[in-house]
Amino acid sequence: MKHAALSATPSAASDTLVEMAARGDRHAFEQLVETRVDRIFRTACAILGNEADARDATQEAFIAAWVQLPRLRDAARFDAWLNRVILNACRDAIRKRRRSREMELDGLQVSAPDAQREVADRDVFNAAFDRLSSADRSILVLHHLQGLPLTEIAGRLGVPVGTAKSRLHTARRALERALEAEA
Amino acid sequence: MNTTYRLTDELIARRLAERTTGPDDALVADILRATESRAQRRSVLPRPWSTAWALLLLALLLAAVAAIGIATAPPPMPPGLQVRAETPLGGLGLSPDGRWMTPFSRDGHTVVRTGPDAPRNPDGSFRGVLSWKGYSGGTAWSPDSRYVAWHGSGSVGVVTIYDLENPGAGPREISVAQQVPGTAWVLGMRWSPDGSQILFETSNCEYPCSAEGAATQLYLLDVATGSVDVISRTLPVGYVGTWSPDGESLGFIGGLIVDLRGTVVRDLLPLVPEIPPAVPPTCLSVPVWSPDGRRIAIIEPLTADTGRLLVFDPGAAEPRVLAADACRITGWSPDGERIVFVTGDSFATKLVQEGNSGGMRPTGPGSDAWIIGVEGGEPQRIFHLGWGEVPILTWDR
């Protein structure tokens, strides 16, 4: 069942959905999930690098959203808040994975023929990216995958633009070092 | 074979996109099924009616209890913890030894003695042994609980220190206005562990203060000489600072830890927004060191009034999540084995003035106090912090 509230402006309609979901409206929450699950899942995939973990993190993020939504005072901040929740879920997943690290011997390649170079490059990038801290991964995903400008990232993280820029620069340097180590 | 990568924006975006796939329908179904099973944890009553329903249920429960004569005894206190006193609402400012506290009123602060033998007025309210009016940025107790410091007794930029063991000597006043440029509105005073210095903050804007352009100026006041040293005039920290037990580091809201020269030495929560000065958040995300200084606990805020209780163990790069729902850390036990924390809305930020009477009336659902072992386990609820008398906790030492 779709709600009539969606006939308002997009942001106002979204705020209304958030408020309805906060009051326990399952249909409103279902619409929030359906319209945001793609972005949230892709963000988790990019940070975690595998679908299984991303799936778990996405599920945990939306469960947390459902349980804690009544405490969100400003419905207009729902998306920024959900972003924080998925980043936290990814961070938890990274911590768990570090505690039970798995070695994938098949992923080690001695040499890469030209035809497989692209695949090898991607593997190296993925391995390097997985070396980064959750904070570095998060800001790289926000900027390069979600396409958020630095001003938007600064706003979402609540830090000055200069700080966001500095953190992005630091994350890129960390990625460069990780690539050198993996290559 | 060495490979050199040209790390362009386009390459990063493409490689990150390659790491992703879209969700399938089964994921949405799984999410909705999982949240459905948790529906019982949510109040599904319309908000305007929730309070009324809760009050009705509470009234019915109390009537039932009264009818069958069951005593409503509070839960037993955990070992080592005791209720020192109950106090009216307000900024409590409990002294480290638990003997004194400083509830505030509209007109200023009062120092009262705690405990069952605390002197009271005929109407049952506490009788102050010391009171003052005027400016206030809260009070600060010396580590030995002998001195209490506050800002102003009528003059902005004056720190007043009172010796409770020598009341006849009167207050000692230290003017910091000449040593602090700009607004000398003294906030967030915290006495150093060795008692020789007081950390204080001034803000470059008045409350309420927007985040843009705001910065907190941090100073150290030498108690013996009255001289002031600058730690920083530009750090994006504010309102509340905590000292490490060794007196060499300061922790601030948002997880920044700085040394006494103002250098940031650690950022516990790099993804958490730094809090603009002079805007007190509901849940205080300020680092709290264990008594031996080896561990740090902090609230990682998730929403405006809830967060996660994290503990950083020595040598560990990542923290442990000790409790998934927490708002404030009340303190560590003296042996460092347990932590008391509070969930729910903070009582301290929910006072509204009642008409022109000068009285303060609380609003909101109150809070719950919990205790949890630092190694983990299930937290134990100690009591509910409602809107009547607020229990004051002290640890056996």
User: Domain residues for B308?
Assistant: 281-397
Q: Name which of B345, B35, B273 is nearest A80 in CA terms.
A: B273
Q: Say yes or no: A85 contacts chain B, CB-CB below 8 A.
A: yes
CB-count burial class (<10 Å; 0-12, 13-18, 19+) for B290: buried
* Residue A129 to residue B271, Cβ atoms within 8 A: no
CB atoms within 10 A of CB B11: 14
pTM above threshold 0.90: no
Q: Looking at the predicted structure, is the pLDDT value of residue B166 above 80? A: yes
**Mutate which: B9, B24, B27, B30, vs A, most A CBs within 10 A:** B27
Residue A102 distance to chain B (closest CA, Å):
19
A35 touches chain B (CB under 8 A): no
pLDDT, tens only, B342-367? 887 544 434 444 444 434 444 556 67
pLDDT in tens, chain A (183 residues): 333 333 334 466 677 888 888 877 788 888 888 888 888 998 998 888 888 888 888 988 888 788 777 767 677 778 888 888 888 888 878 877 765 443 332 333 333 445 456 666 788 888 889 888 888 888 899 888 888 888 888 777 666 677 778 788 888 888 888 888 877
Name the residue with higher pLDDT: B393 or B262: B262
If you average pLDDT over residues B213-236, what whole number do you get?
81
Q: Is B397 on the interface with A (CB under 8 A)?
A: no
Q: Please count the helices (runs of H) and the strands (runs of E) in chain B.
A: 3, 28
Mean local confidence (pLDDT), B195-216: 65
Does B65 reside within a domain?
Answer: no
Q: State the pLDDT at residue A35.
A: 87
**What pLDDT is stored for residue B130 in this prediction?**
76
How far does A10 lie from chain B, in Å, by closest CA? 22
pLDDT in tens, B132-155: 665 555 678 899 989 988 876 556
Beta-carbon separation of A70 and B42 below 8 A: yes
- Bridge partners (DSSP) of residue A128 are none
pLDDT score of B90 more than 80: no
Question: Is B88 a residue whose pLDDT tops 70?
Answer: no
Q: Which residues contact B120 (CB under 8 A, 6 or more apart)?
A: B126, B127
Does B46 sit behind a cis peptide bond, omega within 30 degrees of 0 on the bond before it? no
As for how many domains chain B has, the answer is 1
Residues B56-85 have a mean pLDDT of 49
Instruction: DSSP for B356-396, please give it.
Output: TTTEEEE-S--EEEEEEETT----EEEEEE-SSPEEEEEE-
Structure tokens at B364: 């909101």
Out of A46, A68, A138, closest to residue B19 by CB = A46
* Domain layout of chain A by residue ranges: 1-102, 105-183
Asked, for residue B130, whether it belongs to a domain, the answer is no
Q: How confident is the model at residue B338 (pLDDT cuts 50, 70, 90)?
A: very high
CA B311 vs CA A28, A117, B238, B288, B293: distances in Å? 36, 44, 22, 9, 12
Closest Cα in chain A, distance from residue B224 (Å): 38
Chain A 90-149, residues with CB within 8 Å of chain B CB atoms: 91-92, 95, 98, 111, 121-122, 124-126, 129, 135, 138, 140-141, 144-145, 147
Interface test with A, best of B12, B33, B37, B320 (most A CBs within 10 A): B12
- pLDDT category at B320 given cuts 50, 70, 90 is very high
Residue B75, pLDDT above cutoff 90: no
Best probe of the B interface among A31, A59, A92, by most B CBs < 10 A, is A59
What the block records as the tokens of A78 is 């729902």
Nearest CB partner across the interface for A33, out of B20, B32, B271:
B32
Contacts of A74 in chain B (CB under 8 A): 304
Does the residue B148 lie in any domain?
Answer: no
State whether residue A56 is helix, strand or coil: helix
Instruction: Single out the residue of A65, A89, A88 nearest to residue A17, CA to CA.
Output: A65
Answer whether A59 sits within 8 Å of B9, measured CB to CB.
no
What's the rounded Cα separation, in Å, for the pair B67 and B280? 44
Give the nearest partner residue to A126 out of B3, B19, B39, using CB atoms.
B19
CB contacts of B6 in chain A (<8 Å) are none
Stretch B42-48: mean pLDDT: 35
B386 domain-assigned: yes
Higher pLDDT, A156 or B28: B28
Percent share of chain B, pLDDT over 70: 59
DSSP 8-state secondary structure symbol assigned to residue B98: S
Instruction: Quote the minimal CA–CA distance from A85 to chain B in Å.
Output: 7
Cα A66 from Cα A63, distance rounded (Å): 5
Non-local CB neighbours of B224 within 8 Å, separated by 6+ positions: B196
pLDDT tens-digit readout, B248-301? 999 987 788 899 988 888 888 876 655 444 344 566 678 999 999 999 999 887
> Is pLDDT of B99 > 80?
no
Q: What local confidence, expressed as pLDDT, does residue B313 receive?
A: 93
pLDDT of residue B98: 72
Asked if residue B17 is part of any domain, the answer here is no
B314 vs A96, residue with greater confidence: B314
Which pLDDT score is estimated for B179?
Answer: 83
Q: How far apart are CA A24 and CA B67, in angstroms?
A: 34
In a domain, B235, yes or no: no
Give B-chain residues touching A68 at CB under 8 angstroms: 302-303, 306
Q: Which residue of B has its CA nearest to A45?
A: B20
Lowest mean pLDDT among B152-156, B175-179, B279-283, B377-381: B279-283
Amino acid at A5: A
Residue B20 in domain: no
- Please give the pLDDT value at position B38: 56
The confidence score (pLDDT) of residue A116 equals: 56
Average pLDDT over residues B373-397: 72
Higher pLDDT, B335 or B390: B335
In a domain, B215, yes or no: no
Q: What is the mean pLDDT of chain B?
A: 71
| Test mutation, A20, A30, A45, chain B, max B CBs within 10 A | A45
pLDDT band for B77, please (50, 70, 90 cuts). low
Residues of chain B with pLDDT > 90, as a percent, come to 16
**Would the CATH topology of A1-102 be identical to that of A105-183?**
no
Stretch B316-321: mean pLDDT, rounded?
85
CATH class of A105-183: mainly alpha
Residue A86 sits at φ, ψ, to 5 deg, of -70, -35
| CATH architecture designation of domain A1-102 | Orthogonal Bundle (1.10)
